[in-house]
């Protein structure tokens, strides 16, 4: 418990350069945070940041931002980032619903929602990260051709997400790329033999210049065994 409190205080009281304490200041100007113009990838609920760090390593041409509610997890992600010298990654601590307003319309090229809380009960549906209200927010934040990368081990949530995308007329492709950076949860699930469900979607339409999440993080650099 003491170690966890120390990690939380470190992130909250003396945030390192990788942590952006006032994200709303940078709405529409996230390229200034990174000091360069580059496609912008946002991961919502990044956990310990294993997937995001792997993406940042394997896709150096992208800027990557991770949103996470728990400061101790951000501390762990910062450690991985610092250890491997990843300069194209930033972290934001807080609730995703509030922090999405820190990004301007059309500022994002890709959003990853990986293994979110399934909120399985009917009364909890409004909390799902693929609820139509949130899909509409993603539409606002993504550029034309910008992609939504979604994976889950919860079959009911997966079918719900497919139904919502279909109902909203959002182009999507049911697929779990073989060559993909894994999350902490995903590594554990695959070891246990559990099935993973996934899809790629383009909330603003599948434009000719659409982002292909299968290629992002898969082709530019060889895989690296980042620690979990």
CB-facing half-sphere around the CA of 77: CA atoms within 13 A: 37
Contact status, residue 227 vs residue 184, Cβ threshold 8 Å = no
Report how far Cα 76 is from the mean position of its chain's Cα atoms: 16
Residues serving a catalytic function are 117
- Rounded Cα distance, 99 and 44, in Å: 10
For every residue of 152-221, DSSP letters joined together read ES-HHHHHHHHHHHHHTT--EEE---SS-PPPHHHHHHHHTT---EEEEE-TT---TT---TTTTTTSSS
Q: Give the burial string for 106-143 (b: 16+ CB within 10 Å, else e).
A: ebbbbbbbbbbebbeeeeeeeebbbbeebbebbbebbb
């Amino acid at each position: 418990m003491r170690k966890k409190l120390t990690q939380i205080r470190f992130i909250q009281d003396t945030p390192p350069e990788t942590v952006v304490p006032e994200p709303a200041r940078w709405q529409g100007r996230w390229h200034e945070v990174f000091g360069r113009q580059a496609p912008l990838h946002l991961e919502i609920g990044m956990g310990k940041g294993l997937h995001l760090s792997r993406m940042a390593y394997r896709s150096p041409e992208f800027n990557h931002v991770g949103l996470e509610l728990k400061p101790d997890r951000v501390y762990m992600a910062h450690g991985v980032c610092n250890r491997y010298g990843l300069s194209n990654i930033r972290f934001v601590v807080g609730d995703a619903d509030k922090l999405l307003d820190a990004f301007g319309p059309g500022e994002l090229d890709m959003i990853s929602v990986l293994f979110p809380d399934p909120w399985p009960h009917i009364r909890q549906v409004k909390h799902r990260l693929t609820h139509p209200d949130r899909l509409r927010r993603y539409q606002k934040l993504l550029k034309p051709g910008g992609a939504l990368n979604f994976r889950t081990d919860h079959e009911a949530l997966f079918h719900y997400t497919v139904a919502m995308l279909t109902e909203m007329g959002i182009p999507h492709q049911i697929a779990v790329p073989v060559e993909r950076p894994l999350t902490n949860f995903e590594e554990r699930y695959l070891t246990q033999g559990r099935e993973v469900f996934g899809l790629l979607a383009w909330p603003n339409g599948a434009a000719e210049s659409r982002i292909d999440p299968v290629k992002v993080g898969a082709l530019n650099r060889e895989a690296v065994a980042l620690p979990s």
